[in-house]
Amino acid sequence: MLRSYKPSMLFMGVLSVIGLPEALKEKLESLYGPIDIITDPFPFSFTDYYVPEMGEGIERFFIAFHNPVQPDALSSIKTETNGIEREYSIDGQRKINLDPGLLSLENVILATTKNRSHRIAIGMDLYAEVTLIYQNHGWQPQPWTYADYRSERVQEILTSFREIYKTRMRGINVFL
């Protein structure tokens, strides 16, 4: 028997050397609805992978959206955010990196353009991976989980998002 998807919380992990321009915030809200939270930025020091493209001074912050989304929307959301990244590029170099993800009570799923052995195709030449599993009252990283998502700071942020999501979903009887 087929069952409907349970909606997820849409969030974005953002890497930026330009902060969050007001026009970009407005564009994201026009596409995905009101933003509940924009976390304080902190230095992104987990890897230097992005420095050649983005430059020094990369900061990490997270955005959580109010409106839940169907999980099968992830590929179209990632395609849209890739386009937005291009709009904010200078000479073909990104200055902001928007990584949409889905948060549920059970896990955090991230979308990516890169295929690896543990990722599954989700359409539009994109892939998804279960990055964190919520188990035993906390987030459990996987062997492939990015270093920042393994960090206590990011997991605390995601836990706060999870609490908001849980309250919201109970309010609309999704879990009954």
pLDDT at residue 173 in the model: 66
Residue 92 lies in a domain: yes
pLDDT tens, residue by residue, 60-86:
999 999 999 999 999 999 999 999 999
Residue 117 lies in a domain: yes
pLDDT at residue 3 in the model: 86
pLDDT at residue 154 in the model: 98
Neighbours of 159 (CB within 10 A): 14
pLDDT at residue 176 in the model: 40
pLDDT at residue 172 in the model: 74
Q: What is the rounded average pLDDT of the residues 113-139?
A: 96
Q: What is the rounded average pLDDT of the residues 37-66?
A: 97
Domain range for 24: 9-171
Residue 80 lies in a domain: yes
Q: Give the count of domains, the chain.
A: 1
Q: How far apart are the first and last CA of the chain?
A: 18
115's tokens: 């295929």
Fill in the DSSP letter of residue 68.
-
pLDDT at residue 175 in the model: 53
Residue 25 lies in a domain: yes
C-alpha–C-alpha distance, residues 165 and 159, integer Å: 10
Residue 113 lies in a domain: yes
Q: What is the rounded average pLDDT of the residues 3-7?
A: 91
Instruction: Report the chain's mean pLDDT, rounded to a whole number.
Output: 96
Give me the helices (H) in the chain, please: 22-32, 51-54, 74-87, 147-150, 152-171
Residue 3 lies in a domain: no
Residue 1 lies in a domain: no
10 backbone φψ class: left, alpha, beta (φ>0; ψ -120 to 50): beta
% of the chain with per-residue pLDDT over 70 = 98
Closest CA to 129 of 137, 5, 139, 141: 141
Strand duo 138-141 + 120-123: pairing: unpaired
Q: What is the rounded average pLDDT of the residues 105-122?
A: 96
